Structure 1
Amino acid sequence: MPHIARKKTQRGQTLVMLSAVSSFALAGVGFGFWIGDRAGAPGRTSIAMETVPVNPSVTDSGEIGAIAARLGEMQAELLRINALGERLVQVSGLDPDEFDFVNAPPRGGPETAMARDYTIKELADELSTLVVLVQDRERKLDRLADRVLEQQPRAAGAQLGGWPVRSGYISSPYGVRVHPVRNTRQFHEGVDFATKRGSPILAVADGLVVFSGRRNGYGNLVDIRHRDGLVTRYAHNTANLVREGDLIRQGQQIATVGSTGTATGPHVHFEVIRNGRAVDPMPYLRSQPAQRLARADVLR
């Protein structure tokens, strides 16, 4: 991490920062890439430039710290994308030169000393460059995932169908609602299925795991990309049972029900993402679970 200058900001100064803004929202989403804590759904994020006023009573150190934190998050995301890309290339037998996740793209510019003060603008420019690189790798990973899925034999489970739980009830539908924790009106970009803690969470179609990990707000989260370009998301899990790069069959258990992240009780937050935007999941879920649970049974 470069040495960073600590200077006072001047009144009226503005700071150009990059923030991850949801495009639904998780953007082309295939892979659920977003930065920062989001109350709604992350999808793949659209990264946008914002001009954020700087509080003149606050030193640059706080603003620089925020940019440095973003840089760290983006670098971690880039490492994750590269690792998944390399794994998919290896298991699929595709040309590694076509899908290169090892070598960094060519870059130029004068050499600079590492041990020097960096201005806010220089750090923001570095973040901008890193964002462009991450977006490029995301697009490449989308194409690679689709190629891997095309290699798989088409089966009956290729189409989305059925609920992600064997029993339960819909506790919160898709659409505008009052957030159960924040008590504010927000658009709910998925459907919540309440059921017993520890119950199996099931994939609703064949696909490829493109994210398995933890995200703020969502807790433990699994994203699965499907042959038709749709992505399904399963959140608030007690534990994820699959890892990135795994090929999944319809009805396979991928996690267990929990309440990690921002949640008032055990349930599955389920999303369907099409062309980078969350859509109403219900038209895709043709069948219902064999057992409908009453609310009292879920809370028991």
Structure 2
Amino acid sequence: MAFVILSTGGLTQSRLLTVRTRTVLLASFAVLFAALFGGGMLGYRMAQESAAPAVNEEASAPLTLGQPEGRALIERVGELTGRLIRLESEAVALAKRVGVLKEFEEQVGAQAKPQRTADTAESPSGGPLLPPVGETLSALAVRTSAHDDDFGTGLAELERHMDRIDEAFAFVEQVTTERNLQNMAFPSRSPVLEPRIGSGFGNRLDPFTRKLARHTGIDFPAPKGTPIVASAGGRVRRAGYNRDYGYMIEIDHGNGLVTRYAHSSKLLVRAGELVMPQQRIALIGSTGRSTGPHLHFEVIRNGAYVDPRHYLALTASN
């Protein structure tokens, strides 16, 4: 297919021009593409020029306390400061109670302690580092050469200080727990209520032979059926009848310490059970080699008999 175009030149001659369809379409597409490309480039440059001032202005604008980011940062500093003060107070008080204040201070370290200067030597003071009135956080960061993460507020150092306090508090708590466990397993509690010692530890006249003999424990006279309680926590390793001790119980407290409770009328626990301090384990009686209702109480350390009064906090007299 072809287009026929009539061309007139002046008044003297005329001619016919034949143009193919393919040529017309190609020319049309070329013009359209050029128009679209030019318009796109123009729009891109206009958008870039209009956006550049806003970006530069935003980048150059300093962070101030009035901005949401500044207020959030200050709130965070205040929250961490309050938490730090609370942790320090609680940890120091706990360290004093358990007697590990020196170890606590060593755990915290010298860096965790506030540094006192000549200006603050006579008047203690503290608090987070904040910019003066009218100064921005960004200006303070530049002036103090602080890290970019806290804008010179001292937030990074505050967090590190608080982490050290947390570690020290955990140390004190661990020491306290260990001491509580040791105390729970230490036979320092009276095995009977209102204790009264009948026969003490050491040599005495045997009640049956009336000759000098060794007494390996302490006797606590009491009415039959009086409760016998564990002097410390531990595991019952024996609970049964013995010819000399009658119905008796042995409790293993660990670290080579064992307590023995003899001449009972009734046993309330069995071998293998775990018992807590002051838990009822038996009732006083007069079984075995006994002349009357009482508790024969022994403390055995590493297989050797020791005087129970070295462990018990007794106020009663013989």
Q: Higher RCO, 1 or 2 (CA under 8 Å, sep at least 6)? A: 1
Q: The TM-score by the shorter chain falls in which range?
A: 0.3 to 0.5
User: Would you tell me which structure has more helix in proportion to its own residues?
Assistant: 2
The structure with the largest alpha-carbon Rg is 2
